[in-house]
Chain A
Amino acid sequence: MSQKIKDASIPTIPFKARFSRWFGRNLLRIYMIFGFTYLFIPVAYTFAFSFNDSGKSNLIWKGFTLRNWQNPCGAPEVCSALGNSIKIGLLATTFSTILGTMIAFAIGRYAFKGRSSSNLLIFLPMATPEVVLGASLLSLFLVFKINPGFWPTVIAHVMFCISFVVVTVKARIASLDPRLEQAAMDLYANELETFRRVTLPLVAPGIAGAALLAFSLSFDDFIITNFNSGTLMTFPKFVYVSAARGIPAQANVIGSSMFFLALAIVIAGQLVNRKKVR
C-alpha cells in the first residue's frame, strides 16, 4: 500500500471551517440538551423536594430524608385527595372510553347524513376554554339544584374526555385496512365475528391509548374540577389550596410517583410494540 505517499496531496480543511461545520451539525444536538434540561427542571425540583425534611411547609430545603417516601399518606388529606382523583379518573375513563369509542366507530366507519356536524360537535368541547366548560356546567347543576360534588365532577370529566377519546380512536380506525375485514368475510366470518376477531383486536391499541389519555386528562384536571367539585378534594385541588402555606412533601412524593409510573407504562408500551413488529 502506498502509505508512503505524502498527504500533502490531500487538501486539508482549515480549522475555522471545521469548527463551524462541527457547530452547525451539532447545533441541534446542543439545543436538544438545553431543551430537555429545561423540560425537566420542575420535575427534578419536585422530585428533589420530595426528600425534603420539611414538615408541613415545603418551601425551603431543610435536609434529606426518606420519611416522606416511607409515609406518603403522612400529611392530612393527601391520600384522600389522591383516592378521590383515582376514583373519579377510573369512572370518567370507563364511561368516556365507551361512549367515545362508539362515536368514533359511527363517524369513522359509516357515511351518514350529519357526519360533518357530528365532527363539529366533537370538536367544540376541545375548542372551548376550560373556564367556560366548568362554569357552564356548574350553572346547569345549580339550575337543577344539584350540588357540586363527586358525581357532578365525574360527569364533567366524562364530558370533556369524550372528544379526546373520539379523536384518538378515530385515527386508529382510519389506519385500519378495510381489506382485512373483507378478507375475514371472504373466509366465512359474518359481520359480528369479523368485528370480534379482526376489527376489535386491531383497534384495541387505539382504545387503550384513548383510555390512558382520558385518565391522565381527568387526573390532572384542575379548572373544570374546581367549578364542579364543591368541597370534595382532588389531588390537583389539594396542591392548589396548599400552595400558599407550602405543599407537604408527600404531595411531591405522589407527583414523582405518578411521573415514574406513567413513564414506566409508556416505555412498556413501546417495548411491547417493538416486540410485535420484530
Chain B
Amino acid sequence: MTLPKVRVPYLLLLPGFAFLFTFFILPIINLAQTSTQTPVKGGDTGQYEQTFAFGNYITAFTENKEQFARSFIFATFSTVLALAIAYPLAYAIAFKAGKFKNILLVLVVAPFFTSFLLRTIAWKQILGEEGFVVPGLRSLHIISQQTTLTSTSFAVVAGMTYNFLPFMTLPLYASLERIDPRTIEAAGDLYANGITAFRRVTVPLSMPGVVAGTLLTFIPAAGDYVNAAILGSPTSKMVGNVIESRYFKIVDYPTAAALSFTLMAAILILVTLYIRKAGTEELV
C-alpha cells in the first residue's frame, strides 16, 4: 500500500461528510437565515427578504406557547409511560427468558415492521366508535356514553407511547442484559431482599439504558406531529403540526424556521440538563 497512513481516515470521511455537510449542515444554516426574514412588501407569497428580524422568534414562540407546552408535556408523558411499560418487559426478557431471549426480542420489535402509519391508523379505528375498546368500556360503565377516545389528548399520548416503545425497550434491554446476575446474588448474600436488591443494584446498573432510552424516545416525540394529526383533534396541535402547516397550508417560512430552531433549542437545553443530571458517557 503506497497511501500514506495519515491520509486514509480523511479520504474515507470525505464523501460521507461532504454529503452531510451539503444536505444537513447547509440546510440548517439556510433555515437559520430564513428564520430572520420577513415577507417582501407587495411580493407574492413565498417571497421573503433578509431583514434580521430576530423578533420572529419571539412572535413564533408567544403565538404558539400552547403548542410548545403541549409538545413537551405529551413527549414527557409518553416517555414516562413508555419507560413504565418497557422496563418490566425488558427486565423479563433479560432475566427470565433463558433461551427464548432472541425470539422475544424479535417479537418486541416485530410489530414495528408494519408501517408506522398503518399502526397509528389501526389504533384510531380500535379506539374509535367502530372498535371494541370504547363500546366495551361503555358497557362496563367505566366511561360514559358520550366519551370518545379518539380526537383526544389521551389518544395522542397513547399513540406516541406505543410508537416509540421499541426505542425505549431496546436500550433498556441492552443495559439490563449486561448486568452480571451474580451482583444481584451478592446483594442477597449481603442481606438485601428482592425489592431492595432491585432498587439498589439492578436499577442503578441499568441507568445507562434508561438514559439512552428516554433520550431516544423524548427527542423524536417532542417533534412528532403524525400521532397528533391522526389521533388528535384540531385543537390539540403540537409544534410539529404548526411547522408543517406553515409550509404547506399557510405559507410562512420564517415562522416555520423560527419555530424549528426554538424547538431544537428547547430540546437541546432539556437534553443537556438531563444528561448532566444523569451523568453519562458517549451515546453514539
Contacts and interface: CB of A to CB of B under 8 A. Distances in A.
Interface of A: 28-29, 31-32, 35-36, 38-43, 45-46, 49, 59-61, 99-100, 102-103, 105-107, 109-110, 112, 118-119, 121-133, 135-140, 143, 155-156, 158-159, 162, 166-167, 170, 190-192, 216, 220, 222-223, 226-227, 235-236, 239-240, 243, 247, 251-252, 255-256, 258-259, 261-263, 266-267, 270
Contacts of A131: 223-225, 239-240, 243-244, 260, 263
B158 to A, nearest CB: 10
B154 interface: no
Q: Which range contains the number of B residues in contact with the other chain?
A: 35 or more
Nearest to A226: B244
Contact of A135 (B31, B130, B165): B31
Nearest to B91: A28
B113 A118 contact: no
B12 interface: yes
A138 B247 contact: yes
Interface of B: 1, 6, 8-10, 12-13, 15-17, 19-20, 23-24, 26-28, 30-31, 34, 85, 88-89, 91-93, 96, 102-104, 106-111, 113-126, 130, 162, 165, 219-220, 222-226, 230, 239-240, 243-244, 247, 253, 256-257, 260-261, 263-264, 267-268, 271, 282-284
Main secondary structure of the interface of B (DSSP, over half): helix
Nearest to B85: A35
Nearest to A247: B121
A121 B111 CA distance: 31
Which of B23, B102, B126, B223 has the most chain A CB atoms inside 10 A of its CB?
A: B23
Given A28-B92, A129-B240, 17 more contacts: A32-B92, A43-B119, A59-B130, A99-B19, A119-B282, A124-B24, A131-B239, A132-B260, A159-B19, A226-B244, A227-B247, A239-B115, A240-B226, A240-B230, A247-B121, A263-B110, A270-B103
